[in-house]
C-alpha cells in the first residue's frame, strides 16, 4: 500500500478486492460547490424522479451488488441481498418522509398576507459511512440529502471502498451528475480533511463513538454546520417471565450474533432474572452451538460470516480474555476458527461477578450475561451505560413493557423483538453516546433541509396607523 492509495481484502478469503487511489479532498469540495446551485434549483419532482431511476438501476444490478457486499464485508449472501433491498426501499421512504416532515405549507390570511414555510438545502454535505452496512447506511443519508437539494461527497469506510464506489456509480448511471454525488476515497486523514473543510455545510456520520466525538470536537467552533452523529451502543436485552424460552433464545441469538455481532443495534448484554437463568442458558447455548459460521457464498448458507479483518478479530479475542481475567465466567468461548482469517465462533460470558463491567461497545459476536434478582434491578442494569441506542424486553405483559419503555434510555425500545433489524420507515437514532438527537432513517429529512418562514403579499400595500404627525 503506497501513501496515496490503498488495497482492501475479502475478509473470508484474504483475496485482494480493490486497489484504489486516495481522493483529493479540496478538489472534491470545489467540484461539489460548483454543482450546488444547479442541483438545488432543479424542481423537486425532477430530483425525486432521478432517485426513482437510481432505485430502478439498483434493482437491475442487485445480484452483482449483493455479491460485492458479501465479498467485501464477509456477511452471508442472503444478508447482503437484504442490504440491497434496503437501498432500493430507501427511495420511496425518503420521498414520503420529505413530503411529510419538510414539505411546504401555506396559510392564507387576507390582512397579513400569506404565511409560508418552505425548506432549503444546506449545500454541500459530507457523508461518512461505516463498514458493517457499507451501502444501506450511507445511502440512508445520501438519498434524503439529494432529495432535499444538497450535493453530497461520500467517503466510505476505508474497509469497504469497493461497495462505496459501486453505490456512487449507481447514482451516476441513473443520470445524477458526477459532481452532485461524489466518491471520496480515503481513511481517517481524508475523513478529517473533509469534516473540517471550510466549504462543506454539514457532516452526516455513521460510525464509532470515538470518531463521532472527534468530529463533534472538530466542528465545535462551527455551530452553523449540521452534524448528525449515529454511533454505537452497549445494548441490553432483558428477559423476564415467559413460558417461551426457546423463542426468547432465538431472539437473543438474532440480537447478538446477526452479522457476526457487527450491528450498532446488536445486543451486547443479556440481563436475566435469577430463576430463568439455568433454563434460558440451556436453550441459548443449545441454539448458539448450531450456528453456522462460514464464507458468504458457502452452501448451506451460514448464519454469520467472519468479522471484518484480522485486527478486529484479535481485538475481540483480547477483550474476551480481559473479561475472563476480571471475573467473567465463560459459557461459550470466543474462538478463532481459521488460521489467518477473521472467522470467530460466538462467545458468551457471564459477567455477573465482575466488579466493574467495561461500558464499551465490543463490535463483534460477544454476548455478556448478567443475572439479576428482579425487574427493578434488570432495568437499573440495562440503563447502566453511557450509550442509549437500542434495548429489548422479552417476556412479561403490557404493564411490564410500559414500565420498561418509560424507564429505559434509548432511541429504540422493543418488546419481544430483537434489538436490531430497525425499520427505515421509523426514526433511527440513540441518546447518550449513541447519537446527538438527529435521528436518521425516516427522520433524516429533518437534518437535510432547514425551514424558512415567509410572509407574503402580492402587492406592497402598507399603512402606519399610530405614531405619525398629522398631515
Ligand atoms: P468508524 O468510526 O471507524 O469509521 C466510520 C467512518 O468515519 C469511516 O469512513 C472513517 O474513515 C471515518 N472516520 C474515522 N475517524 C474519523 C475522524 N476522526 N474524522 C473524520 N472521519 C473519521 O466506524 P466503523 O468501524 O467503520 O463502523 C463500526 C461502528 O459504526 C460501530 O461503532 C457501530 O456501532 C457504528 N455504527 C453505528 C450505526 C448507527 O446508525 N448508530 C450503524 C452502523 C454502525
Ligand atoms: C446497524 O445499522 O448496524 C443496525 C441496523 C439494525 O439492524 O437495526
How much is the pLDDT for 203? 98
State mean pLDDT over 345-350: 98
Atom nearest to 420 CA in ligand 2: 8
Lowest mean pLDDT among 63-77, 94-108, 217-231: 94-108
State mean pLDDT over 284-290: 98
State mean pLDDT over 453-469: 92
Residue 110 has pLDDT above 70, yes or no: no
| Summary mean pLDDT of the chain | 97
SS3 78: helix
Residue 2 has pLDDT above 60, yes or no: no
How much is the pLDDT for 461? 87
Please tell me the number of the ligand nearest to residue 434's CA.
1
Span from the CA of 420 to the centroid of ligand 2 (angstroms): 6
* Percent of the chain surpassing pLDDT 90: 94
State mean pLDDT over 229-246: 98
Please tell me the number of the ligand nearest to residue 196's CA.
1
Q: Say yes or no: CB of residue 129 within 6 Å of ligand 1.
A: yes
Q: pLDDT-derived band of residue 360, with 50, 70 and 90 as boundaries?
A: very high
Ranges for all domains in the chain classified under CATH 3.40.309.10: 235-415
Residue of 135, 161, 207 to test ligand 1 pocket, by largest number of atoms within 8 Å of CB: 207
In tens, the pLDDT along 20-56 reads 999 999 999 999 999 999 999 999 999 999 999 999 9
Residue of 211, 261, 315 to test ligand 1 pocket, by largest number of atoms within 8 Å of CB: 211
Residue of 420, 427, 444 to test ligand 2 pocket, by largest number of atoms within 8 Å of CB: 420
Atom nearest to 434 CA in ligand 1: 41
How much is the pLDDT for 334? 98
Q: Say yes or no: CB of residue 213 within 6 Å of ligand 1.
A: no
Atom nearest to 232 CA in ligand 1: 34
Span from the CA of 133 to the centroid of ligand 2 (angstroms): 8
C-beta of residue 293 within 8 angstroms of C-beta of residue 304: yes
How much is the pLDDT for 471? 81
Report the alpha-carbon distance of residue 440 to residue 436 in Å, rounded: 11
For domain 235-415, which CATH number applies: 3.30.420.40, 3.30.1390.20, 3.40.309.10, 3.40.50.1110?
Answer: 3.40.309.10
How much is the pLDDT for 106? 87
In tens, the pLDDT along 382-429 reads 999 999 999 999 999 999 999 999 999 999 999 999 999 999 999 999
State mean pLDDT over 256-271: 98
Bridging pattern class, strands 347-350 and 329-332: antiparallel
Question: Got the DSSP string for 302-360?
Answer: PSB---S-HHHHHHHHHHHHHHHHTT-EEEE---EEETTEEEE--EEEE-TT-SS----
In tens, the pLDDT along 301-323 reads 999 999 999 999 999 999 999 99
SS3 92: helix
Grid coordinates of 269: 448484554
Ranges for all domains in the chain classified under CATH 3.40.605.10: 5-231+435-456
Span from the CA of 78 to the centroid of ligand 1 (angstroms): 24
Instruction: Taking the CA atoms of 107, 108, 114 and 120 in sequence, report the sign of the dihedral they define.
Output: positive
Question: Could you confirm whether 264 is annotated as catalytic?
Answer: yes
Q: pLDDT-derived band of residue 270, with 50, 70 and 90 as boundaries?
A: very high
Atom nearest to 262 CA in ligand 2: 3
Span from the CA of 424 to the centroid of ligand 2 (angstroms): 10
Q: Which of 56, 63, 89 is nearest to 77 (CA)?
A: 63
So what CATH class is 5-231+435-456? alpha beta
Phi and psi of 110, rounded to 5°?
A: -50, -45
Q: Say yes or no: CB of residue 132 within 6 Å of ligand 2.
A: yes
pTM of the model: 0.97
Q: Say yes or no: CB of residue 128 within 6 Å of ligand 1.
A: yes
How much is the pLDDT for 1? 44
> Which listed residue (10, 72, 230, 381) is catalytic?
230
Number of neighbours of residue 222 by Cβ within 10 angstroms? 14
Atom nearest to 428 CA in ligand 2: 8
How much is the pLDDT for 433? 98
Span from the CA of 310 to the centroid of ligand 1 (angstroms): 18
In tens, the pLDDT along 444-458 reads 999 999 999 999 998
How much is the pLDDT for 111? 72
Question: Could you confirm whether 170 is annotated as catalytic?
Answer: no
Please tell me the number of the ligand nearest to residue 218's CA.
1
In tens, the pLDDT along 139-179 reads 999 999 999 999 999 999 999 999 999 999 999 999 999 99
Q: Which of 313, 318, 325 is nearest to 364 (CA)?
A: 313
Amino acid at each position: 500500500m503506497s501513501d496515496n492509495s490503498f488495497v482492501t481484502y475479502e475478509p473470508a478469503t484474504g483475496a485482494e478486492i480493490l486497489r484504489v487511489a486516495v481522493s483529493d479532498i479540496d478538489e472534491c469540495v470545489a467540484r461539489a460547490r460548483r454543482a450546488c446551485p444547479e442541483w438545488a434549483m432543479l424542481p423537486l419532482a425532477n430530483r425525486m424522479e432521478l432517485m426513482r431511476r437510481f432505485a430502478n438501476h439498483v434493482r437491475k444490478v442487485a445480484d452483482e451488488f449483493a455479491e460485492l457486499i458479501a465479498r467485501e464485508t464477509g456477511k452471508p449472501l442472503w444478508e447482503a441481498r437484504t442490504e440491497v433491498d434496503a437501498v432500493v426501499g430507501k427511495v420511496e421512504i425518503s420521498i414520503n418522509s420529505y413530503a411529510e416532515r419538510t414539505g411546504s405549507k401555506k396559510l392564507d390570511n387576507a390582512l397579513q398576507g400569506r404565511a409560508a414555510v418552505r425548506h432549503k438545502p444546506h449545500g454541500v454535505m459530507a457523508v461518512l459511512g461505516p463498514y458493517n452496512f457499507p451501502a444501506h447506511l450511507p445511502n440512508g443519508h445520501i438519498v434524503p440529502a439529494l432529495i432535499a437539494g444538497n450535493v453530497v461527497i461520500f467517503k466510505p469506510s476505508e474497509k469497504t471502498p469497493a461497495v462505496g464506489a459501486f453505490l456512487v456509480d449507481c447514482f451516476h448511471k441513473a443520470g445524477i451528475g458526477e459532481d452532485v454525488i461524489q466518491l471520496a476515497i480515503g481513511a481517517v486523514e481524508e475523513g478529517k480533511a473533509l469534516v473540517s473543510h471550510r466549504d462543506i455545510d454539514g457532516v452526516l456520520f455513521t460510525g464509532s463513538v470515538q470518531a463521532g466525538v472527534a468530529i463533534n470536537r472538530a466542528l465545535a467552533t462551527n455551530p452553523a454546520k449540521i452534524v448528525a452523529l449515529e454511533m454505537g451502543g452497549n445494548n441490553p436485552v432483558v428477559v423476564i417471565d415467559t413460558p417461551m424460552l426457546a423463542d426468547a433464545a432465538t431472539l437473543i441469538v438474532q440480537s447478538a450474533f446477526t452479522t457476526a455481532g457487527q450491528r450498532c443495534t446488536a445486543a451486547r448484554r443479556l440481563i436475566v432474572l435469577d430463576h430463568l437463568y439455568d433454563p434460558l442458558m440451556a436453550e441459548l447455548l443449545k441454539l448458539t452451538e448450531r450456528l453456522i459460521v462460514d464464507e458468504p457464498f458457502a452452501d448451506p448458507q451460514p448464519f454469520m460470516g467472519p468479522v471484518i479483518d484480522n485486527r478486529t478479530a484479535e481485538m475481540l479475542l483480547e477483550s474476551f480474555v480481559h473479561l475472563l481475567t476480571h471475573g467473567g465466567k465463560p459459557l461459550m468461548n470466543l474462538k478463532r476458527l481459521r488460521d489467518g482469517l477473521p472467522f470467530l465462533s460466538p462467545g458468551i460470558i457471564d459477567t455477573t461477578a465482575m466488579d466493574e463491567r467495561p461500558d464499551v461497545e465490543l463490535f463483534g459476536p460477544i454476548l455478556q450475561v448478567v443475572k439479576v434478582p428482579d425487574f427493578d434491578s434488570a432495568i437499573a442494569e440495562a440503563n447502566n451505560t453511557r450509550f442509549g441506542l437500542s434495548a429489548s424486553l422479552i417476556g412479561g405483559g403490557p404493564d411490564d413493557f410500559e414500565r420498561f419503555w418509560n424507564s429505559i434510555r434509548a432511541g429504540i425500545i422493543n418488546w419481544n423483538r430483537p434489538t436490531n433489524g430497525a425499520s427505515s420507515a421509523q426514526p433511527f437514532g440513540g441518546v447518550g453516546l449513541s447519537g446527538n438527537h438527529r435521528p436518521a432513517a425516516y427522520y433524516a429529512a429533518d437534518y437535510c433541509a432547514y425551514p424558512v418562514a415567509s410572509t407574503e403579499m402580492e402587492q406592497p400595500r402598507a399603512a402606519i396607523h399610530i405614531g405619525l404627525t398629522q398631515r
